[in-house]
């Protein structure tokens, strides 16, 4: 995981309000061994991306990873049906959110409440909170390329880099790619400098604040 300019590594466990990384590369604090590193929900905005190295293909976990990858590229009918139902729900949720924002916008202009002191500020806060509560859940262009190879453009401190992988899923804040090919040499901080992640298949969760879907690629 890249947190700002620092790398934090370990076994990740996800909670509703944050992330715990056990067996961290940070060994001790003040002479006391560190058991795990906690990243709270409000700090996740500083996380550029999270990398999970795929297990070796000659292991049981590697075979499961390979099977999941194959299913992602060529989903069975039941997976397609589940995704269709989910998309219908998300479209309804998006429509509801847009309608509620329109109603609030209308109230801010046409009612006595809208003419009250600081009304614009209050209505703006209400719309902002509603946007955070009900973000756009369905994006046609991303939906179209699920299970397909794509290239993302990621912003670093010095340049823009392109990295390719298979689009597995997305949200308003993140893009999840499988089997990513890194364009830069990224060294695992837990290992020596000769061990690089670009020699391995990796799954990556990108923060959309720093990354955009730039190209669709031929299969």
**Lowest pLDDT segment from 1-10, 51-60, 96-105, 144-153:** 96-105
- Is 101 within 8 Å of 93 (Cβ atoms)? no
Residues in the chain: 219
- Is 62 within 8 Å of 54 (Cβ atoms)? yes
pLDDT digits (tens, 9 = 90+) for 157-188: 778 889 999 999 998 889 999 999 776 566 55
Q: Vertex 39, ends 38 and 43: CA angle to 5°?
A: 155
pLDDT digits (tens, 9 = 90+) for 99-115: 666 666 665 555 555 45
pLDDT digits (tens, 9 = 90+) for 133-157: 445 567 889 999 999 999 999 888 7
Tokens 């996380």, located at residue:
47
Q: What is the pLDDT of residue 152?
A: 94
Helix, strand, or coil (residue 212): strand
Q: What is the pLDDT of residue 59?
A: 92
Tell me the two tokens of residue 131.
């946007």
| Residue from 110, 111, 109, 104 nearest 127 by CA | 104
Q: What is the mean pLDDT of the chain?
A: 78
Helices (H), ranges, 33-76: 60-73
Which helix (H) or strand (E) element contains residue 114?
helix 112-115
| Residue from 20, 1, 7, 47 nearest 207 by CA | 47
Q: Please tell me the distance from the alpha carbon of residue 34 to that of residue 25, in angstroms, as a whole number.
A: 9
pLDDT digits (tens, 9 = 90+) for 79-88: 888 888 777 7
pTM for the model:
0.71
């Amino acid at each position: 995981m890249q947190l700002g300019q620092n790398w934090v590594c370990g076994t990740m466990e996800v909670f509703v309000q944050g992330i715990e990384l056990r067996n961290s590369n940070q060994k001790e604090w003040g002479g006391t061994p560190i058991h795990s590193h906690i990243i709270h929900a409000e700090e996740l905005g500083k996380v550029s991306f999270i990398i999970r190295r795929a297990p070796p293909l000659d292991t049981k976990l590697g075979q499961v990873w390979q099977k999941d990858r194959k299913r992602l590229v060529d989903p069975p009918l039941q997976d397609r049906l589940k995704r269709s139902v989910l998309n219908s729900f998300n479209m309804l949720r998006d429509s509801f959110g847009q309608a509620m924002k329109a109603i609030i916008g209308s109230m801010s202009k046409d009612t006595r409440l809208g003419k009250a002191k600081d009304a614009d500020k209050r209505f703006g806060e209400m719309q902002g909170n509603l946007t955070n509560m009900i973000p756009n859940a369905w994006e046609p262009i991303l939906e179209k390329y699920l299970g397909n190879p794509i290239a993302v453009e990621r912003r670093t401190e010095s340049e823009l880099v392109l990295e390719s992988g298979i689009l597995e899923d997305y949200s308003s804040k993140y893009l999840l790619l499988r089997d990513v090919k890194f364009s830069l040499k990224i060294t695992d901080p837990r290992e020596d400098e000769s061990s690089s992640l670009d020699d391995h298949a990796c799954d990556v969760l990108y923060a959309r604040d720093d990354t955009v879907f730039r190209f669709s690629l031929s299969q």
